Structure 1
Amino acid sequence: MGSDNDVLTRNNVTVLGKGNKTLLLANGFGCDQNMWRFLLPYMKGDYKIVLFDYVGSGNSDVSQFQQNKYRTLDGYAEDIIDVCDELSLNNVNLVGHSVSSIIGLLAAIKKPEYFVKLVMVCPTPCFLNFPPEYFGGFDEADLHELLGLMDKNYIGWAEYLAPLVIGVNNSEALTSELSSSFCSTDPVIAKSFARATFFSDYREILSQVRHPTLIFQSDNDALAAKSVGDYMHNKIQNSAIEIIQAEGHCLHMTHPEKIAPLLIKYVNDE
């Protein structure tokens, strides 16, 4: 590591508030820290909130992207650990959206002493179907087609994926914001992250989780069905699950008022 500010600049780190409990908010694929803004009004005053962008996302330093490092989710977990190191964080409540639930889990397994609780917003350990024992929601051919679309028609890919992620009946403004966020990411980096996200299988590590874990599951999520949330709840020994009456894969954006009180209660419970 170089100078003190390397990681803070590289990952575009933002620190808000001074509370004695720390919340580290980690974005999903194709998103940046701005996506957490809907949840923040519920958190003000009581917490130290740390926001960041993975290398290659948002306003991170894209020049720091290394294909080899970020080929798997472990590279992104290193970003989380680096941010914790740089800010000397411990007793962190790590709130991860979608793939960041698993990235956060990898970080917590590697450096358990940094974290106190994990919160997962619409998580999945694996998007692929392995019938009959596991249905992640997608056949391998579907995902190859999705990645192929990234090559052929990047804008079309973003416009196809964004409403699926937000939920077709939710705000069009949020859908177009997510689509723009996808499009603002360098296509080479986006495809690398997409491959690491959609083709990985982290079911095996769920049993290694030692931290108390809260799972938020949308009752209608095109990317992670309720059965996936139940699967994770069953595999993570010290876990709780909250099924939210909502559509879509981005509860922190579409239904912050539903998850915020439950999140705060979970973090505050000793």
Structure 2
Amino acid sequence: MNVLKRNNVTILGEGEKVLLFAHGFGCDQNAWKYIQNFFTENYKLVLLDFVGAGKSDLSSYDPEKYASLDGYVTDIMEICDALKLSNAIFIGHSVSCMIGALASIKRPDIFEKLVFIGPSPCYISIGDYIGGFDKETIDALFEVMEEDYISWARSIAPSIMDSKNGNERTRELSDSFCSIDPIIAKQFARVTFLSDNRKDLPLIPVESLTIQCSDDMIAPLAVGEYIHANTPDNTLVVLEAYGHCPHMSHPTETAKAIMRFCSKPVQVV
């Protein structure tokens, strides 16, 4: 199947410079709807659903291919090739941040800049590294998901979303989680929470922005500081926003941080 149909690629906007948006675990491209209008006048937007999410082609899901982040990295590169993209700006949320980073390492030509929203190179605390979770907590999370994925999704959404912003977007996030095939969701969760891409950070070849919330249970501030300290040419912005989905809960603050970064001239070395 054509990669653009497989990943339900949508193209919006009037500009020449391309922004490629990649959603996080449990979401699809609809997660960007609260910030996309900030960019459509001056940029061309490319939005996608990772295979298994949204309106992607579920029949294309291959458990072997997607047993690591590499399968999703390959999809990003294929989408860029199909659209003949080069020097685009990648905007990722949560686990997709490392997917974009890995794609830029493999193919430095496709992205000029990377924007990370709530990124984490490793979700488990190891040694001096603070990832936000210990191994026992992650194992318990997987057990609960195995027993009743839908109940898990309903219960965790308020903690991931900014609950102070009201219930509507929390319900939206919960519904998004629950719309995913539980078998695919559980495998993607394992790929996400067991990944460790710390060693890849120094290899990122382009300028990047880390957008960190002031209070985020999934990616605490220490994680953003670690990425900033270990990634060449990285800028760290800490929002007043809280939660793990500021592009949904605090779209104006998030969009302004992205716009400032995107408008900065690229440093030619």
- The question of whether the paired residues in 2 share the 8 Å contact of 1:33 and 1:51 is answered with yes
Residues 1:45 and 2:41 aligned together: yes
Letter in 2 for 1:246: A
Letter in 1 for 2:10: T
Q: Deviation per CA, 1:150-172: give whole Å up to 9, x if none.
A: 11112211012211211332331
Q: Which moved more, 1:211-220 or 1:257-266?
A: 257-266
Return the alpha-carbon distance in structure 2 between the equivalents of residues 38 and 179 of structure 1.
17
- The question of whether the paired residues in 2 share the 8 Å contact of 1:164 and 1:223 is answered with no
Number of aligned residue pairs: 265
Return the alpha-carbon distance in structure 1 between the equivalents of residues 84 and 251 of structure 2.
29
Return the alpha-carbon distance in structure 2 between the equivalents of residues 47 and 167 of structure 1.
28
1:47-196 mapped onto 2 (5 Å cutoff):
47-131=43-127, 133-196=128-191
TM, length-normalised to structure 2: 0.96
TM, length-normalised to structure 1: 0.96
Q: Which moved more, 1:165-174 or 1:228-237?
A: 165-174
Q: Deviation per CA, 1:183-205: give whole Å up to 9, x if none.
A: 11111110110000001111110
SS of equivalent to 2:109: helix
- The question of whether the paired residues in 2 share the 8 Å contact of 1:15 and 1:51 is answered with yes
Selected match of 2:24 from 25, 28, 35: 28
Return the alpha-carbon distance in structure 2 between the equivalents of residues 143 and 174 of structure 1.
25
Letter in 2 for 1:158: A
Identity %: 45
Letter in 1 for 2:201: L
Poorly superposed stretches of 4+, deviation over 4 Å: none
Return the alpha-carbon distance in structure 2 between the equivalents of residues 171 and 205 of structure 1.
37
- The question of whether the paired residues in 2 share the 8 Å contact of 1:97 and 1:123 is answered with yes
1:201-216 mapped onto 2 (5 Å cutoff):
201-216=196-211
Structure 2 gaps, min length 5: none
Return the alpha-carbon distance in structure 2 between the equivalents of residues 138 and 38 of structure 1.
29
Structure 1 partner of 2:219: 224
- The question of whether the paired residues in 2 share the 8 Å contact of 1:92 and 1:115 is answered with yes
Letter in 1 for 2:14: K
Return the alpha-carbon distance in structure 2 between the equivalents of residues 18 and 91 of structure 1.
17
RMSD over equivalenced CA pairs, Å? 1.0
Q: Deviation per CA, 1:88-147: give whole Å up to 9, x if none.
A: 11111000001010010011111111110000001010110113x111111111111111
Q: Cα offset for 1:51?
A: 0.2
SS of equivalent to 1:113: coil
Q: Deviation per CA, 1:35-59: give whole Å up to 9, x if none.
A: 1000012112110100000000110
Return the alpha-carbon distance in structure 1 between the equivalents of residues 120 and 102 of structure 2.
13
SS of equivalent to 1:162: helix
SS of equivalent to 2:90: strand
Structure 2 partner of 1:264: 259
Return the alpha-carbon distance in structure 2 between the equivalents of residues 170 and 224 of structure 1.
19
SS of equivalent to 1:217: strand
Letter in 2 for 1:240: T
Return the alpha-carbon distance in structure 2 between the equivalents of residues 265 and 167 of structure 1.
24
Q: Which moved more, 1:140-149 or 1:57-66?
A: 140-149
Return the alpha-carbon distance in structure 2 between the equivalents of residues 127 and 172 of structure 1.
27
- The question of whether the paired residues in 2 share the 8 Å contact of 1:167 and 1:222 is answered with no
Return the alpha-carbon distance in structure 1 between the equivalents of residues 165 and 197 of structure 2.
30
